[in-house]
Chain A
Amino acid sequence: MSELILSFLIGVTANLLFDSAYYAIRLIKHRSRLSDGKKKSLIVKGLPSEPSPEAEQIALKVIDGIERAEGVTLREMSDEVAESYINEIADIVIQRTMKDLQYDKKRGQKLLEELRSLEPGSVK
């Protein structure tokens, strides 16, 4: 599955990858609201944080690839299969971030402990 998804996301900028992946996940999550045979845009106009048209096109290619690989439309896809693709796409975002930003384990642990000491609902 990763190769299929990566084939559409490889070589793109981090920003475009994040936006495309984010929008592909949105389409998968809301698949029950999308008619078969077409994918009406779920992009909300007028919001700066929404994915760009270019990211939307890449996300649609990812979805088309998934549909072809599975032999079903997005709307027909089972929850189990849909969740496996969400995991795959999210993992690509996570891996790219960690590669680009080179996270700091020691500092991350310190910050996480600070957050856990705060309300609401401190994590024990």
Chain B
Amino acid sequence: MLNRLEGPILLYSTNTWLAYQIAERFYHREHYIWCVPYFDPRSLSVYHITIPPSSSPAEIYRDLYEVVRRGDRHSAKISENKAGILRGAEFKRVSGIITEDEERDIASIVELAETRDFKPLLYIIPYNLVSDLIKEVSVEDRAHPLSVEYIIECLPRRFFDVIEFNI
């Protein structure tokens, strides 16, 4: 959704249940996310063709939902998420946010996690609450302002809502 004068109204991000819980427990309820100003680019008329599926919260949600439904243990989506969580834990430990024991705890959780633990959750974030926290990801071919993507390194839990739905 776009407010033409002031930018987006909402930002959307799909993440796994496991990533959410680890941030809640170990990172003081601060979440690292990629987000965009739309949920499903297919609702953006002809402009959606400029937005790849890898950037669509709706597509990411559908993919993860299907992976969990099928119980696909060898999915690249899950492997990628595991690696991202482990890399994040290592960064947090080096930054002094967690201890080595806590990093080991996170690794133990990731190692034992089952496919169902990677079910998708949708974060909905009011833009005006996070406009000072966002960093834009540069891309080569931006044909539409909504094709922008943002990273938020430390998104406090109080700044977003979490939705889980069935497809």
**Proximity string of chain A (84-108) to chain B, C-beta cutoff 8 Å, 1 when within and 0 when not:** 1011011101100110011111011
Identify which of B4-12, B39-47, B74-82, B124-132 touches chain A: B74-82
User: How many interface contacts (CB-CB < 8 Å) are there between A and B?
Assistant: 138
Q: Which of A1-9, A63-71, A113-121 contacts B (4 or more CB under 8 A)?
A: A113-121
- The interface bits of chain B over 156-167 (1 if a CB of A lies within 8 angstroms of the residue's CB, else 0) are 000000101000
- Residue among B80, B138, B153 making CB contact with A47, cutoff 8 Å: B153
Would you call B76 and A90 a contact (CB within 8 A)? Answer: yes
Q: A21 touching B121 by the CB < 8 A rule?
A: no
CB distance from B97 to the nearest CB of A (A): 11
A94 to chain B: closest residue by CB:
B82
- Assembled-state Cα–Cα distance A104/B106 (Å): 10
Interface residues in A37-79 by Cβ distance below 8 A to B read 40-42, 44, 46-49
User: What are some 30 contacts across the A-B interface (CB < 8 A)?
Assistant: A18-B86, A18-B87, A22-B84, A25-B84, A29-B54, A32-B54, A44-B135, A44-B136, A44-B137, A44-B151, A46-B135, A48-B95, A49-B91, A89-B83, A90-B76, A90-B79, A94-B86, A94-B110, A102-B104, A104-B104, A104-B108, A107-B108, A108-B108, A111-B108, A115-B109, A120-B121, A121-B17, A121-B162, A121-B164, A123-B116
Q: Which of B55, B100, B119, B141 contacts A121 (CB 8 A)?
A: B119
Q: State A22–B84 Cα separation when bound (angstroms).
A: 7
Interface residues of B toward A: which range? 35 or more
> Shortest CB–CB separation between residue B85 and chain A, in angstroms?
10
Give 10 A-B pairs besides A34-B140, A40-B140, A109-B112 with Cβ atoms closer than 8 angstroms: A32-B52, A90-B83, A93-B86, A93-B87, A101-B103, A101-B104, A105-B108, A112-B112, A112-B117, A121-B119
CB distance from B43 to the nearest CB of A (A): 20
Overall SS of chain A's interface: helix
Q: Does B113 contact A (CB under 8 A)?
A: yes
> A residues bordering B, Cβ < 8 Å?
14-15, 18-19, 21-22, 25, 29-30, 32-35, 40-42, 44, 46-49, 82-84, 86-87, 89-91, 93-94, 97-98, 101-105, 107-109, 111-112, 115-116, 118, 120-121, 123
Partner of A108, one of B91, B109, B140: B109
Question: Given known contacts A105-B112, A107-B108, is B86 in contact with A42 (CB within 8 Å)?
Answer: no
Given A48-B95, A108-B111, A112-B109, the answer on whether A123 and B140 have CB atoms closer than 8 Å is: no
